Amino acid sequence: MQGFKKHYQEKIIPALKEKFGYKNNMQVPTMKKVVLNVGIGAGLKDKDYIDAVEKNLQRITGQMPVKTLAKKSISNFKIREGMVVGLKVTLRGDRMWDFVEKLVKVTLPRVRDFQGINPKSFDGMGGYSLGFKEQLAFPEILPDEVDRTHGLEINITTSAKNNEEAFEFLNLLGFPFKKQ
């Protein structure tokens, strides 16, 4: 499934070099990493819920998630220091490229009432974030096996220096941005 990486090398690098006037291939923006994050929220004390979220993330990414722990206690939210408050997976290399290809070609088209992704979700330094309200859009998750749905957040970190470069890079990769 190395279609996206090959497409990047053959089509995207020359297009971005021409548009932004880069002198060599190392200046062209590329993806550094993709991070998937799930906040536990209401299921803080439910061990089965945390295990289910962990299995879902593992199925989606093919990699074991890391538990994120609370750094300090917050009594209003009933959170104590050291409690599991979320899970995350960081993808790099071939797994990252495969995941992004699956995201663009399979997952996003499966989202209900999909109108495109928000072109304003860039962070100013070449990063892009998007969220899913439920994990059912991913083909690895079978609806019959899901007791409780959860959302997840995807952060794509690129080597682009600004939003314009990052937008053009992701647009050429095939990300379905909404028309402005």
pLDDT for 43 equals 65
pTM (2 decimals)?
0.86
pLDDT for 155 equals 93
CATH T-level topology, domain 3-40+88-173: 50s Ribosomal Protein L5; Chain: A, (3.30.1440)
Determine phi and psi for 76, rounding to 5 degrees.
-60, -30
Output the CA torsion sign for 91, 92, 94, 98: positive
Bridge-based pairing of strands 127-132 and 84-91 is unpaired
Convert 130-167 into a string of H (helix), E (strand) and C (coil): EEECCHHHCCCCCHHHCCCCCCEEEEEEECCCCHHHHH
Which distant-in-sequence residues (6+ apart) come within 8 Å of 62 by Cβ?
95
d(CA 91, CA 119): 23
**Both structure tokens of 32:** 């550094």
Which pLDDT tens digits describe the chain residue by residue (180 residues)?
467 777 777 788 888 888 888 888 888 888 999 999 988 876 667 788 788 888 888 888 889 999 887 787 777 777 777 777 788 999 998 899 888 888 888 888 877 777 888 888 888 888 999 888 877 777 777 676 777 778 889 999 999 988 898 888 888 888 888 876
